[in-house]
Structure 1
Amino acid sequence: MPSHTTVSIGLAACLSAGVLSSLWVKPSFGAALLTLVIFLGLTGLGLRRMPAVGYWIPAGLAAWSLGLCSMAWRLPENRPLHFLHFETQPGGWVGAKVLEALRHTPYSDRYLAEITRVNGNPAEGKVVLQLPAGPDTIRLAPGQEIISAVFPGPVGPTANPGQFDYRAYLESVGIHGQLRLNEGEYLLPPPPVGGRGGRLATLRSRLLERLDEAGFSPAEAGVARALLLGDRSEMDPEVQAAYRKAGALHLLAVSGLHVGIVAGLVYLVLAPLGRGRYGKSARLFLTVALLWGYAFLAGLSPSVVRAVLLFSLVSYALYLQRDRMTLHFMGLGWMVMIGILDPLWLLQPGFQLSFAAVAAIVVYAPALMRWWPWKRRPWGWMGNLFCVSLAAQMGTLPLSLFYFHQFPGLFLLSGLALLPLMGLVLGMGFAVLLLQSVSLLPAFLPALYNAVLSGMNGFVRWVAGQEGFHLEGIPWDGVHLLLGGAALVLGGISLRQGSRWCLRGAVLALLLLQAYGIWLRDQDQEVRRLTIPHKVAASGFWVQEGRSLRVFSPDSAALQPLLRDAALHGRASRIIHMPLENHYRWGDQNVRVLDSMGVYSGREPSPRLLVLTGSPRVHLGRLLEALRPAQVVADGSNYHSYVRRWEQTCRLQGIPFHATAWSGAFVTELP
């Protein structure tokens, strides 16, 4: 008979496979529900008639079908009221409700909104609401209704290789469109009282406003909002980047650390209840209820939901005197979050990182502590912090390299310095928030808390400034992630169960990881690829030869934001900047660049590729007759009116035309 931990983790894996299958197959909800009913029936029949080993086959299929059904229910294709099913009509209008504020930019205010009406009919579906920023722009509060004649549009694909796929990210959190509005294109009716989620969102918004009124400096105010209520919309990007480089960004996410401190405070306050007949039960119930209330105020992010749910399950296990089953309860929490609450959490890096960190702490930290040579205080206490930080970083390393392609070398220093202080920082913050919300905050407390946050930010900036310890541009892909994760999982099983086969499997996974890196390096030596990127008001292109990236541009700074992603995507280790010229030749293929001067000669050899840049004022028909190119490309530095005219001319003459403004970057292989 398998253990409870094996069963829960196995069923959680089957459930996750069902969610991913639903994204790939996209079944109808009826078909997914029928599949779930069939496998649940087989599981019920097998409970009495099948042996223990055979019983878990239909049970795993039932978990798989539950994931399939849960994800199918949330697919826009299976939601008749989703705004994607409505067609734009003359005189039509759209109603939306603001859910929360996103990070604003200097040019636009951005919000997460839910479509409520389309042409007067009930509708649903989340969108990114974008309004122009300005000195007179009114910031919208959660629950605010907005009406517009502009319909939501799709989110465009990535324009350049290696660029962050914003559309895929939005779809992973259940957002399938964007609503871009200009001044005069929308109305703001009076905000309703209450409504679905309106009161809670309004309460959170008011707490954030009260926190801002405490008088913190801008950088410290953004950190306080993130620490206490999980809101990063007003956080300074420079400060956030410093925390990421220092390996301390997880301290700003409302997660297990915050929940543990809040639980400790609540237990202290409710300690007298434990003396009565039903005191332990009452204290457990009240603590869990207050923690879930805090999770709602913090925005119900996957990290805080995971932490509160896991705390609730473990607390109940301790109440029943069943400890040492943390991984079992993690599996149960995984199934509740993915199968019941929101299957899209499975696709989010924060959810994956939070579970990976906790699992690694549970598995690896005890083993690391056994190897720690100094057991007495204070070295034993420091060793415990060291081992917990190292285990968490080990567990999240494959995911961090895959998603962020960087490794903070001084994460241990950040953890050892900041973790002991987080209890004080959070305790003071909650005191400030509580006293400020009831207008009883003394003048010295916000000044003191601002100094504490300033000192913490200063230390993080100093750690992030040690550039030699921060590794960036690590090109991990899905195969790296699979092999690295397999090594960690097999190594953890070997530690807990003493399995030599798992230890050998972990070593084999590491060897395959090295072999894959060597194979990629050999494959990269054969790469010869030309890329004309899309960048508004910028000219130029780059050619990758092996692991070198040669950038041809009159202004290398204009393309600089794209080069990091391009080098990471192509695993290039060297970038060489060169001036932009009019003629290039690689093997038997030549490239002709026609800039704003528009100078050419009819005696030139016919180019394989004609690049139009800088909006040259030429008669394209005569130019095509003179040069006879095989392909025409217009980059992002050209006027759109010119590009449309050129596209029509090329279509009439039967010459392929590519506009980076419409189709993204142009990529071609070179001989």
Structure 2
Amino acid sequence: MKLLAYASIKLTLLLILGILIGYTFQIPIKYCFGFLLCCFAILGYFFIRKADKTLKFKLVAGITVIFIGMFSFLQSQSIQYDHYFKKVQKTEFPLLQVKITDVLKPNAFSQNYVAEVLMADGKKTIGKILINQSTDSIHNTFQVDDELFIKSKISPINPPLNPHQFNFKEYMGHLGVHHSLKLSLENFTVLPNPSKTLIGYAQQVRSNIIKKLENEDFGREQLSIIRALLLGERTTISEDTYSNYVDAGAVHILAVSGLHVGILLMLIQFVLRPLNRLPYGKKIVLFLTLILLWAFAFIAGLSPSIIRACAMFTFVAYAMYMNRPSNSFNILALSMFFILLVINPNLLFQVGFQMSYAAVFAIVWIYPLLQKWWFPKNRIIRYLWQLLSVSIAAQLGVLPISLFYFHQFPGLFFISNLLIVPFLGLILGMGMIIIVLSLVEKSSSSLIWMYNEVIGLMNKIVSWVANQETFLFKSISFDEMQLTLGYLVIGSLVFAFSKTNYRRIMLFLGFLLMFQTYTIYKEFEAGSKSETIILHQVKNSVLFDKNGNMLKVLTVDSTRLKRLVDNYIVQERIDQTRYLPVKNSYLIYDKSLQIIDSAGVYLPTNTNTIFLLTKSPKINRNVLFKKLILKKLLRMAATTLVLSQTGNKLVYNIKSHFIIQVKWDFTD
């Protein structure tokens, strides 16, 4: 199938290109708007001259769509406007009026919220802010649409302090949030009777449903899965249970997205099928289908993922009404174009959006080829093969993205999908019935017991698959270039599989060779690299000494380092790891590093000594300052430093972590 034969696919690709250009180069919006107006004027000229079918018109139309993508992205970035709240504030501690728009998942230290800043120091503003409420100061939590007056210092969201950590600053930036503030017991006031939004009403309905479900006789783990499965509420799932779903390749079941909405669409179409016999029956079915789809989105809280999925399947439902199911790529492209242009262009940079469309695109492309390759005559075998084909196609579609973001691959994904996905429609249907019965207070204890057992059985299946660690491939190093080459390899393989000939096979082998060559080069590069890092961690001393593929971790407390070490091992392609205790001194060529702990003991020094203070030692700092070669006082887990070797000189620079591009003498 020639995908570029569809105009919608061309337009969507050009729109994505424009968004990427706007993201990369950050062109001033006024210039982008000016170029866009010029493009529209040229298109109007061609149209008046009836030259709208010429190559020049098509070229200008393509450029126009690119500028539309750029403008769409730039206008969604509130930080660039003059009335952005940070630019409006008059004092260091401005008085802000904010409206809660999202409640984030809590952690061990805090509860976070995303809020829209309505006013700053008495002036109307725009922009979103991250509100951090520490667990020590939580006397009451907030809901969507709550409004507060807050007097607090505004700080930018910081980048990660250690190498290869999750970049929370970048993640929040893609959500349009660049600054944060902290709540205390004294610096805020809750406004009575705040105005309500549609999302606020949806969240309130979902909260009422959750309260009704909590009154039923569900197990704790079962209830947390039910809340995720039906309502998109994953905050109560235990870490062990969530890890099991990830390791089993079934985590998509917990995210209310395309899979759930697609199954729900099929259920609705099945139930409403008799209405097709009525006059205007197809229109009635379409109308009711869309109402029920968006009603489900409403009770699921109108989260971005569910809005995205419902928007996509709205186009699918319309295509089914028009009886044009063969144009699946066209439908996908139209839905993506609509979502990125109308809803939010920032969705392009979110993992959920990328994986959803990659999976659906792969299913639409690869599934028919697998069915054409083998079509069993036995109905049971055919049904199982269809399920397996869908699972294989979806996994191929998301494989490079999954390896890039999560660095693991569940080898038994097909088992969990074969055992759960066929019954997911029944599970969703039963769940919807239970929700309705709970709301009207007519719930059945036998139905509750049955549903509780079904969810419990699903958890046991997932747990069993996840515990087959032999088939779970973790810590897979995968960077941006491998992501690109990976999709080229998969695409060329499917291309050759659809119609085998010499040119297509050679194309696949060429991309495979490029992927292998690049991977070997990265392994060689990692093996020849040496560096030493002093990491940032509160109440702990941590040093990484990397020598090729060997990593030595020097630390006081190794129990808190799993995530830091795992991330570094994956990104730096480490083969061996050793844990060693931190000593008081180390040698860096002709220079020495002395670590001064709470004992405050250090050796006589010369000009080739660097000091590192940890555990708040009680020493005379004025005396010590005079002995410091760099005239900088470092605090472990507070301030960090970068050192690199340039010729015979040791060059330093304060940065987010401490890297020494020279060989240290770390002896046992």
> Which residues in structure 2 correspond to 1:120-269 (within 5 Å)?
120-133=122-135, 137-192=139-194, 194-195=196-197, 197-269=199-271
1:309–1:189: structure 2 CA closer, same or farther, 3 Å change rule?
Answer: closer
Q: Distance in 2 between matches of 1:33 and 1:607?
A: 57
| d(CA) in 2 for partners of 1:39, 1:369 | 45
CA shift at 1:400, angstroms? 0.6
Matching residue within 642, 659, 666 for 1:667: 659
Q: In the alignment, residue 17 of structure 2 is paired with which amino acid?
A: A
**Residues 296 and 19 from structure 1, CA distance in 2 versus in 1: closer, same or farther, beyond 3 angstroms?**
farther
Q: CA deviation at 1:176?
A: 1.9
Matching residue of 2:24:
24
Residue type matched to 1:534 in 2? H
Distance 1:302 1:327 in 2: 22
Match of 2:644 in 1: none
- Which residue identity does 1:89 align to in structure 2? T
- 1:381 is displaced (CA, Å) by 0.6
RMSD of aligned Cα (Å): 2.8
Give 1:583's aligned residue. Answer: 585
User: Do the aligned residues in 2 keep the contact of 1:147 with 1:186 (CA within 8 Å)?
Assistant: yes
Query: Secondary structure at 2:17's aligned position in 1?
Result: helix
Q: Secondary structure at the match of 1:190?
A: coil
Q: Percent identity among equivalent residues?
A: 30
Cα distance in 1 for residues equivalent to 2:363 and 2:542? 48
Deviation sequence 1:130-154 (CA, Å, 0-9, x none): 2233697223222211221114422
Moved more, 379-388 or 566-575: 566-575
Shift of 1:256: 2.6
CA distance in 1, matches of 2:422, 2:198: 40
| Residue 107 of structure 1, CA deviation | 3.1
Q: 1:629: which partner in 2?
A: 629
Alignment check: 8 A CA contact 1:94 1:151 kept: no
CA contact (8 A) 2:78 2:126 kept: no
Single out whichever of 492-501 and 19-28 deviates more from structure 2. Answer: 492-501
Q: Which residue does the alignment assign to 1:619?
A: 620
What is the match of residue 611 of structure 2? 610
Letter in 2 for 1:609: I
More deviation, 231-240/246-255? 231-240
SS at match of 1:378: helix
In the superposition, relative to structure 1, how do residues 657 and 191 fare at CA in structure 2: closer, same or farther (>3 Å)? farther
Distance 2:33 2:632 in 1: 51
Q: Deviations over 1:605-638 (max 9, x none)?
A: 5445322222222223323445x53475624457
TM-score (norm 2): 0.91
1:425 aligned partner: 427
Summarize the alignment of residues 482-631 of structure 1 with structure 2, pairs less than 5 Å apart: 482-495=484-497, 501-602=503-604, 604=605, 606-607=607-608, 609-626=610-627, 628-630=628-630
Residues 186 and 135 (structure 1 numbering): CA distance in 2 closer, same or farther, change over 3 Å? Answer: closer
Q: What CA distance in whole angstroms lies between the structure 2 residues aligned with 1:298 and 1:254?
A: 8
Q: 1:264 to 1:3 in 2, by over 3 A?
A: closer
1:283-432 equivalent positions in 2, closer than 5 A: 283-372=285-374, 374-432=376-434
Question: Structure 2 CA distance, aligned partners of 1:541 and 1:56?
Answer: 58
Preserved CA contact (<8 Å) 2:89 2:121? no
Which residue pairs with 2:77 in the alignment? 75
Instruction: Output the amino acid matched with 1:523.
Output: E
Q: CA deviation at 1:503?
A: 4.5
Would the alpha carbon gap of residues 500 and 362 (structure 1) be closer, same or farther in structure 2, given more than 3 Å must change? farther
* Worse-matched range after superposition: 192-201 or 350-359: 192-201
Give the whole-Å Cα distance in 2 for the aligned partners of 1:486 and 1:404: 20
Residues 559/258 of structure 1: CA separation in 2 closer, same or farther (3 Å cut): closer
In structure 2, the gaps of 5 or more residues are: 642-649, 664-668
Instruction: Give deviations 1:25-75, integer Å, cap 9, x for gaps.
Output: 323333322322322343455564265655432222121111111111111
Deviation at 1:426, TM superposition (A): 0.9
Contact 1:76–1:82 (CA under 8 A) maintained in structure 2: yes
Could you list the runs of 5+ residues in structure 1 that have no partner in the other structure?
A: 647-654
Query: Residue 417 of structure 2 aligns to a residue in which SS?
Result: helix
Would the aligned equivalents of 2:613 and 2:636 in 1 still touch at CA under 8 Å? no
* Structure 1, 608-617 or 239-248: larger mean CA deviation: 608-617
* 3-state secondary structure, aligned to 1:354: helix
How far 1:601 sits from its partner (Å)?
A: 2.8
Secondary structure of the equivalent of 1:137? coil
How far apart are 1:237 and its partner, in Å? 2.2
Counterpart AA for 2:615: G
Do the aligned residues in 2 keep the contact of 1:95 with 1:117 (CA within 8 Å)?
A: yes
Q: Secondary structure at the match of 2:510?
A: helix
**1:3 and 1:397 mapped to 2: Cα distance?**
22
Contact kept? 1:358, 1:392, Cα under 8 Å: yes
Amino acid in the other structure paired with 2:430: M
Distance 1:308 1:625 in 2: 66
> What is the match of residue 651 of structure 1?
none
Tell me the CA shift for residue 404 of structure 1: 1.0
In the alignment, which residue of structure 2 is the partner of 1:650? none
Deviation at 1:104, TM superposition (A): 1.5
- CA–CA distance in structure 2, aligned partners of residues 499 and 65 of structure 1: 39
Instruction: Give distance in 2, aligned partners of 1:114 and 1:77.
Output: 12
Deviates more, 1:367-376 or 1:144-153: 367-376
Q: Take 2:121 and 2:661, find their aligned partners in 1: how far apart are those partners?
A: 49
Query: What is the CA distance between 1:4 and its match in structure 2?
Result: 6.7
Question: Which deviations, in whole Å up to 9, do the C-alpha atoms of 1:456-490 show, x marking residues without a partner?
Answer: 11221221122222122111111101111222233
Taking a change above 3 Å as real, the CA distance of residues 665 and 429 of structure 1, as seen in their structure-2 partners, is same
Deviates more, 1:156-165 or 1:175-184: 175-184
Which residue of 2 is the match for residue 11 of structure 1?
Answer: 11
Deviation at 1:556, TM superposition (A): 2.3
| Equivalent-residue separation in structure 1 for 2:304 and 2:364 (angstroms) | 19
CA–CA separation in structure 1 for the residues paired with 2:366 and 2:601: 67
Q: Does 1:96 align with 2:120?
A: no
1:652 aligns to what?
none
- Give the structure 1 partner of residue 666 of structure 2: none
Secondary structure of the equivalent of 1:94?
strand
User: Aligned-pair distance for 1:339?
Assistant: 1.5
User: Residue 523 of structure 1 aligns to a residue in which SS?
Assistant: helix
Residues 215 and 656 of structure 1: is their aligned pair in 2 closer, same or farther, counting only changes over 3 Å?
farther
Distance, in Å, in 2 between the alignment partners of 1:289 and 1:223 is 26
Q: Is the 8 A contact 2:93 2:154 kept in 1?
A: no
Q: 1:619 to 1:90 in 2, by over 3 A?
A: closer
Partner Cα distance (1:503, 1:633) in 2: 61
- The Cα shift of 1:129 comes to 2.2
